[in-house]
Amino acid sequence: MIPLAFIGVFFVWPVGALVVRAVRVSDGEGLLDLARRTDAWGLLGFTLAQAAGSTLVTLVVAAPIIWLVATCSARTSTVLMVGVTIPFVLPTVVVGMAFRAIVSPGGPLSGLGLDGSVASIVAAHAFLNIAVVVRVVGSAWRTQDPRAELAARTLGATPWRAFTTVVLPRLIVPILSASALVFLFCSTSFGVVLILGNGRWQTIETAVYTQAIGYFDLPAAVTLSLLQIIVVIVVVAISGWVTPRTVAVVAREATARVRGRASRAVAALVAVWAVVVLVGPLSVVVIRSLRPTAGGEWTLSGYRSLTRAVNGQTPLQTLQYSVVSALWAMVLSVVIGLLAAIALQRARGTASTVGSALALVPLGVSAVTVGFGYLIVLASLPAGVASWPGLIPAVQALIAVPVVIRVIAPALAAIPPRLRHAAATLGAGPWRVWRTVDLPLIWRPLAASGAFAFIIAVGEFGATGFLARPGTTTLPVLIGSALNRPGADNLATAMACSVLMIVATAIAVVVMESFRTVSGGDL
């Protein structure tokens, strides 16, 4: 009941209020007429095509890094996890600006003619979502029991055959789970498409923004949002149908993996690949913080502005609020997500499929839609509600809860029922069974979901931008505001704040990965 109440208050209520307002001002125009007027079917086709292409490219780009994470030392794995996680937390507008600088005239890849192309959008999406694939699939591979692989190698199987026949089948569930998340993230991407599309390419998400902000056509915006919700439900239903309900679980660290024979040359090449893919775009952000315009002067004005107040709050104070708000959002999303995952694990048949789809709906709805809904709802409530300190953490948690569920639910489903039955037979009550059987087996996915929730909360930009007030402005919102203002100084400030976010995120992820290493497990 608690997850349903949370989703009802913070998602269904504002979205429902927006739908009601849209119906009132639609002048009787039907959904099909609105869909034709907004070219919804063309937008849907491009949205699905670029999301599918982005997902495929992300898997290909991440594959070598996954192998390195699964076979390297714990220290190298920590470094790689930090590297892949930083891009995921950056506001999409910053990533869009970074890739725009790479492909635009004067950029490193300007000669390839990628400015305003679909290829640049796909590349930016792959850069953003490598973390999802590496953390989900890499952690699952690293914690696999290596004895079956060792047995195959002992019986004469080549490394490739041992991988395809023993390792890969046990990675299908994590791969499908990660792919579904990446597809959803790419299909609802906003800043990347808005900046790199150059007005030529639009997804449903950017079209919702155009209709709502540019034309203030709420019926058209809501129609596109409803289409987006349908896409999310279908994607989740398909992924739930093709994903097995149970997989083998290993509760210990798999340290005896076959990795001693791996070529050092191959590992070195993969390391170089990881550096190019992960550090290259980030270095552009750093350079642009010191040299805002191509061919312009080098300056530290962006970093000097970090201590200057904007609307009564310096960027450093904004960062502090962002971290505190994200921590509260992390706690809230883990609690709500865990309760929801337990309920979904106990559900059967249609109830389980429908519940899984509904749990991910907030992730696939336009942030613009949710933000407008909050404005409508808050306008009818006492003024003190809009300034409630828990509002922004709750909204951030709303975006993170689907990811928490997606990470925890497979781990719960993978626990052999005989373990619970044995504990119950020995006299353990339901609470003790969960505490002594379930919790020790899912604490790593639980910690991983918390890390993801914190990262998502820190980087949330869409809905939070509608709710930010003086004193409750998050760093992504501040970056977006600076990017919307003309002038090299504002661009330098935005990029300096982005570098600040990169550093803060790196520190947070190092702490999380250090905790993982000290605890003796992999997330």
Task: Mean pLDDT check: name the lowest of 275-289, 365-379, 488-502.
Answer: 365-379
* Alpha-carbon distances, residue 189 vs 182, 194, 406, 429 (angstroms): 10, 9, 19, 45
pLDDT at 396 over 80: yes
Residue 353 has pLDDT above 60, yes or no: yes
For the packed helices 92-103 and 118-133, what is the interaxial angle rounded to 10 degrees? 130
Residue 523 lies in a domain: no
More confident residue, 249 or 113: 113
| Complete DSSP assignment for 39-76 | THHHHHHHHHHHHHHHHHHHHHHHHHHHHHHHHS-HHH
Confidence class for position 25, pLDDT limits 50, 70, 90: low
Cβ atoms 235, 351 nearer than 8 A: no
Q: Kindly state whether residue 190 falls inside one of the protein's structural domains.
A: yes
pLDDT above 50 (res 313): yes
Q: Quickly tell me which residue has 């590992």 as its tokens.
A: 267
pLDDT of 253 strictly over 60: no
The pLDDT score that the predictor gives to residue 246 is: 40
Residue 247, phi then psi, degrees to nearest 5: -140, 165
| Least confident piece of the model among 32-36, 39-43, 290-294, 363-367 | 363-367
pLDDT, the chain, mean: 78
**Shortest CA distance to 91 belongs to which of 322, 270, 365?**
322
Both structure tokens of 150: 């060792």
- Has residue 254 got a pLDDT over 50? no
Q: Determine the Cα–Cα distance for residues 248 and 479; give it in Å rounded to an integer.
A: 44
Residue 310 pairs in a beta bridge with 313
* pLDDT over threshold 50, residue 523: no
Let me know if residue 491 belongs to a domain: yes
d(Cα 98, Cα 328) in Å, to the nearest integer?
30
* Residue 504 pLDDT exceeds 50: yes
Q: For residue 116, is pLDDT > 70?
A: yes
The enclosing domain of 91 has a CATH number of: 1.10.3720.10
Question: 101-106 long-range CB contacts below 8 Å, 24 or more apart?
Answer: 101/284, 101/288, 101/294, 102/280, 102/281, 102/284, 103/196, 104/294, 105/294, 106/294, 106/295
d(CA 492, CA 296): 12
Nearest Cα to Cα of residue 374 among 362, 358, 360, 357: 362
First to last CA, the chain: 29
The more confidently predicted of residues 125 and 313 is: 125
Alpha carbon distance 395, 383 (integer Å): 18
313 bridge partner residues:
310
CB 397 within 8 A of CB 453: yes
- Give the span between the Cα atoms of 196 and 119, in whole angstroms: 10
Domain membership flag for residue 161: yes
The pLDDT assigned to 311 comes to 67
pLDDT at 227: 81
Please tell me the total count of domains within the chain.
1
pLDDT score, position 328: 92
User: What is the model's pLDDT at position 332?
Assistant: 92
Place of tokens 């990029």: 495
Q: Determine, yes or no, domain membership for 114.
A: yes
- Which among 335, 307, 348 is positioned nearest to 497, based on CA atoms? 307
Catalogue the E-assigned strands of 309-393: none
pLDDT at 87 (0 to 100): 84
Give 253's contacts (C-beta < 8 A, 6+ positions apart). Answer: 143, 520, 521, 522
- Residues comprising the chain, all counted: 523
Check whether 519 has a pLDDT greater than 50: no
Q: Is the pLDDT of residue 122 over 90?
A: yes
CA–CA separation, 113 vs 137, rounded Å? 34
**CA 66, CA 167: separation in Å to the nearest integer?**
13
Residues with Cβ < 8 Å from 230, sequence gap 6 or more? none
pLDDT at 521 over 50: no
Helix axes 218-242, 367-379, angle to 10 degrees: 130
pLDDT, position 349: 66
Q: Could you tell me which residues come within 8 angstroms of residue 360 by beta carbon, excluding any fewer than 6 positions away?
A: 184, 232, 236, 402, 405, 406
Average pLDDT of the residues in 412-430: 79
Identify whether the C-beta of residue 464 lies closer than 8 Å to the C-beta of residue 476: yes
Q: Of 157-166, 206-215, 328-337, give the lowest mean pLDDT range.
A: 157-166
Task: Indicate if the pLDDT at residue 338 is higher than 80.
Answer: yes
Please tell me the predicted confidence (pLDDT) of residue 59: 93
- For the chain, the 3-state helix, strand and coil shares in percent, each to the nearest 5, are 75, 0, 20
DSSP E strand boundaries for 224-266: none
pLDDT given at position 256: 40
Pick from 111-125, 237-251, 257-271 the range whose average pLDDT is largest.
111-125
Q: Given CA atoms 470, 474, 479, 481 in this order, what sign does their dihedral have?
A: negative
Contacts within 8 Å (CB) and 24+ apart, 22-27: 22/218, 22/219, 22/221, 22/222, 23/219, 25/218, 25/219, 26/219
User: Which is nearest to 211 in space by CA: 352, 37, 75?
Assistant: 37
| Secondary structure of residue 310 in the 3-state scheme | strand
- Report d(CA 493, CA 218) in Å as an integer: 33
Range of the domain at 446: 2-518
pLDDT in tens, 30-78: 777 777 888 888 888 999 999 999 999 999 999 888 888 877 777 777 7
- Please determine, for residue 307, whether its predicted confidence score (pLDDT) is greater than 90: no
Q: Is 247's pLDDT higher than 70? A: no
- Three-state DSSP class for residue 91: coil
Q: So what's the pLDDT on residue 34?
A: 78
Average of per-residue pLDDT across 224-231: 79
Give the pLDDT band (50/70/90) at residue 267.
confident
Under DSSP, is residue 313 helix (H, G, I), strand (E, B) or coil? strand
